Amino acid sequence: MGGIGKTALAVEAAHRARAQGWFPGGTLFVDLRGYDDDPVTADQAVLALLDALGLQGQDLPPTTERQYDTYRALLAERQERMLLILDNASAPSQYVPLLPGTDLHRVVITSRDRPDALPVRLIDLEALAPADATALLERALHFTDERDERPAREPHALRELTELCGHLPLALQIAAGMLRRRRHRDIASLVAEIRQAGDAAAVLDHGSPGSDVDGRSLVLRPVLETSYRRLASDRARLLRLLCLAPGAETGTEAITALADLPVETVLSLLDDLAAACLVTPVRTVDGRASAMRWRVHDLVRAFGARVVAADAELSEEGGAARERMMRFYHRWADAADDRLRWLPGRAEPERFGDRGQALAWMDAERAALVAVVGWAREERFADTAVELALCLAEYLDWRRYFDDWISVAGTAQEAAHRAGDELSEAIAWDTLGLALREAGRATVVIEAHSHARDLYRATGDRHREAGAWINLGNALREADNSEEAIDAYTWARDLYQATGDRLGEARAWDNYGVSLREAGRTEEAIHAHARAGDLHQETGDNRGTAMAWNNLGNALLAVGRIEEAIEAYGNSLDLCGQLEDWYNEGLALYNLALAHKTARRPAEARTTYLKSAAAYTRANAPDKAALAQSRADALT
């Protein structure tokens, strides 16, 4: 893309190659200005090349055809290898006539467009790696003034500035120039200025120091504008809309919904945008074209969004496109959520044939799904965004992405409150409480579930009120208030029985049992967990059954019935393995290891702790994995 550093790389490579003696015949350089309003033609460029080769004035052939013949003849006569750099070409017609016609010499062409029709070696340039971007900015400042201590004093701000520049060399050079001019101000001040404006290109161009050492204009926006203006209308439209998509990268299916076009048309347009270096295809495990993903550079994204915002008609088109994308994500997130929650006897969810397919889709789309929920802050998208947020709870819990879960639940709660939708707000509060609990933020969990319970009661939703009682009981239990937790679970159990919800009743019995065990009422706890297991099995809820077996094992172990506890943990492990529930597998293995240790079998205990650590690692629970590993190490 423009500003990626093509010319700088080519020139630096040429200098190094000459220094090593690769091109004793010298180097020729022509700026074809392919993206200017008046690009250099091949006919104009050949005159400059002839001049560089020593042919001028009256010695020039009178016709263009003879000028090309003379140019090639002069190159053929040179017995020492030369390097020809044809910089900034926008079309093959600018450079194909200038090729030497002999394999003695070498040619480097820089362009924002991929010449896929020609048999040339292609080197695609991406933005710099974060560490390289930081080093570039730091060296640029030290080159001017080696006493500049800002990079060492503000490493975090330096990294943040490179991120805001999208690690794009042109943007980084402009930022370096601005920092040189404002040498008595810290780096954080420029970071704050860009963040406040929300548009790095606007700030950098406004403060641009002018030109670099080669006389090239150091401005970012015109580089992006020239690439955009060259696009055909259908390609320009797709780029604009893609700049409105959430997340760093977007799948082909979602882009199809965004553009409201057939998938083959979208793929063709995306290929053209990729050839123009305005989008980048991202490799995926699934080789299907429809499964491909596409990335837009942050500064291109900001530019495209600004183009849309500046035009009322384009803004309306963009709003309609975002609505289509919102419906797309909601439809399939809802189907994936149905699959994750599916139990035998229920209707088969749309699209996803098993849990693995549902999880794979949500894994690929997670960043976009979380970002789309953020659209709830706009009234136009609020209702659907709230529904989408609630569809993500099971998945984010399963994968243990608690920060994302807190974010989407909090956004949903705020949006539902603004809309006066008490039921949706209650669900959001309940979901937020669950996420906060898993993230270890216990102080606000009780408050969240109490809000949910009260709102459910106000709306007359007794079934969901029962669920809030369970969640409130869990929060109270973790706050070491077992007696109040027992009361909460009793409320939940009775409400579930009244509404005929056997699955909910099973959950209530299981949690009730945990509180009874913690209160020292272990025999009652054993009965409660056994009852929970029976109900979970009746409803076909294998995950709930696995948890009930694990909790039953804990109760049995507490009263010294070790072999029965080991059998219960084994039953839990079998089900967790079938479900690929690595977190609860890690939990059951940890408890099983404790049972082996209690039975004075240290070798079995150590092996099982190590298996628990591996399962927790797979489940993205490093703190639990570290604890299991430490217990294993203690038995070495």
**Percent of the chain residues topping a pLDDT of 90:** 70
Contact 252, 279 (CB under 8 A): no
Q: Are 97 and 154 part of one and the same domain?
A: no
pLDDT tens digit sequence for 346-380: 889 989 999 999 999 999 999 999 999 999 999 99
- Please tell me the predicted confidence (pLDDT) of residue 219: 66
- Please tell me the predicted confidence (pLDDT) of residue 200: 81
What is the number of structural domains in the chain?
Answer: 4
Is 437 inside any structural domain? no
pLDDT tens digit sequence for 236-252: 999 999 999 997 789 99
Q: Are 215 and 136 part of one and the same domain?
A: yes
Q: List the Cα angle 552/553/557 in 5-degree steps.
A: 120
Q: Are 105 and 15 part of one and the same domain?
A: yes
Maximum average pLDDT range among 164-178, 188-202, 563-577 = 563-577
Is 33 inside any structural domain? yes
Q: Which residue has the higher pLDDT, 343 or 331?
A: 331
- Please tell me the predicted confidence (pLDDT) of residue 209: 53
pLDDT tens digit sequence for 261-283: 999 999 999 999 988 888 988 87
Residues 6+ apart with CB under 8 A from 261: 238, 269
- Please tell me the predicted confidence (pLDDT) of residue 213: 39
- Please tell me the predicted confidence (pLDDT) of residue 398: 87
Is 387 inside any structural domain? no
- Find, among 575, 573, 577, the residue nearest to 593 by Cα: 573
Look at residue 305 and tell me whether its pLDDT is greater than 60: yes
Q: Please state the rounded mean pLDDT for residues 558-570.
A: 95
- Please tell me the predicted confidence (pLDDT) of residue 248: 79
> What are the CA-CA distances from residue 496 to residues 464, 468, 472, 503, 509 (Å)?
9, 11, 15, 8, 10
Q: What is the CATH number of the domain that holds 50?
A: 3.40.50.300
Q: Are 147 and 215 part of one and the same domain?
A: yes
Q: Can you tell me the distance from the alpha carbon of 353 to that of 504, in angstroms, rounded to the nearest whole number?
A: 25
Q: Please state the rounded mean pLDDT for residues 128-152.
A: 92
- Find, among 558, 562, 553, the residue nearest to 599 by Cα: 562
Q: Are 215 and 239 part of one and the same domain?
A: no
Q: Are 192 and 278 part of one and the same domain?
A: no
pLDDT tens digit sequence for 371-423: 999 999 999 999 999 999 999 999 999 888 999 999 999 999 999 999 999 99
Long-range pairs, 113-116, Cβ under 8 A, ≥24: 113/275, 113/276, 113/277, 114/274, 114/275, 114/276, 114/277, 116/275
- Find, among 218, 225, 111, the residue nearest to 171 by Cα: 218
Is 446 inside any structural domain? no
Q: Which residue has the higher pLDDT, 181 or 472?
A: 472
Mean pLDDT of the chain: 91
Q: Which structural domain, as residue segments, surrounds residue 154?
A: 130-219
- Please tell me the predicted confidence (pLDDT) of residue 215: 42
- Please tell me the predicted confidence (pLDDT) of residue 442: 75
- Find, among 572, 536, 578, the residue nearest to 590 by Cα: 572
Q: What is the CATH number of the domain that holds 249?
A: 1.10.10.10
Q: Given 251, 284, 310, which residue is the final one in a domain?
A: 310
Is 587 inside any structural domain? yes
- Please tell me the predicted confidence (pLDDT) of residue 278: 87
Q: Which residue has the higher pLDDT, 276 or 506?
A: 506
- Please tell me the predicted confidence (pLDDT) of residue 409: 95
Q: Please state the rounded mean pLDDT for residues 567-583.
A: 93
- Find, among 205, 248, 228, the residue nearest to 35 by Cα: 228
pLDDT tens digit sequence for 442-480: 779 999 999 999 999 999 999 999 999 999 998 998 888
Q: Given 219, 247, 271, which residue is the final one in a domain?
A: 219
- Please tell me the predicted confidence (pLDDT) of residue 216: 46
- Please tell me the predicted confidence (pLDDT) of residue 286: 64
User: Residue 262 has what DSSP assignment?
Assistant: -
Edge-to-edge strand ranges of the sheet holding 280-282:
249-251, 293-295, 280-282
Predicted confidence band at 64 (pLDDT cuts at 50, 70, 90)?
Answer: very high
**Percent of the chain residues topping a pLDDT of 70:** 97
- Please tell me the predicted confidence (pLDDT) of residue 526: 95
Q: Are 15 and 97 part of one and the same domain?
A: yes
Q: Given 310, 337, 363, which residue is the final one in a domain?
A: 310
Look at residue 89 and tell me whether its pLDDT is greater than 90: yes
Q: Please state the rounded mean pLDDT for residues 512-539.
A: 93
Q: Are 237 and 190 part of one and the same domain?
A: no
Long-range pairs, 625-628, Cβ under 8 A, ≥24: 625/586, 627/590, 628/586, 628/589, 628/590, 628/593
Residue 266: other Cβ atoms inside 10 A:
23
Q: Are 236 and 278 part of one and the same domain?
A: yes
- Please tell me the predicted confidence (pLDDT) of residue 592: 96
Is 574 inside any structural domain? yes
Q: Are 146 and 170 part of one and the same domain?
A: yes
Q: What is the CATH number of the domain that holds 570?
A: 1.25.40.10
Tell me the residue length of the chain: 636
pLDDT tens digit sequence for 282-299: 877 666 766 789 999 888
pLDDT tens digit sequence for 189-235: 999 998 888 778 778 877 655 544 344 445 677 778 888 888 999 99
How many H helices and E strands in the chain? 31, 6
Q: Can you tell me the distance from the alpha carbon of 340 to that of 356, in angstroms, rounded to the nearest whole number?
A: 9
- Find, among 87, 97, 90, the residue nearest to 30 by Cα: 87
Is 26 inside any structural domain? yes
Q: Are 281 and 214 part of one and the same domain?
A: no
- Please tell me the predicted confidence (pLDDT) of residue 493: 94
Q: Are 107 and 14 part of one and the same domain?
A: yes
Is 484 inside any structural domain? no
Question: Helix, strand, or coil here: 520?
Answer: coil
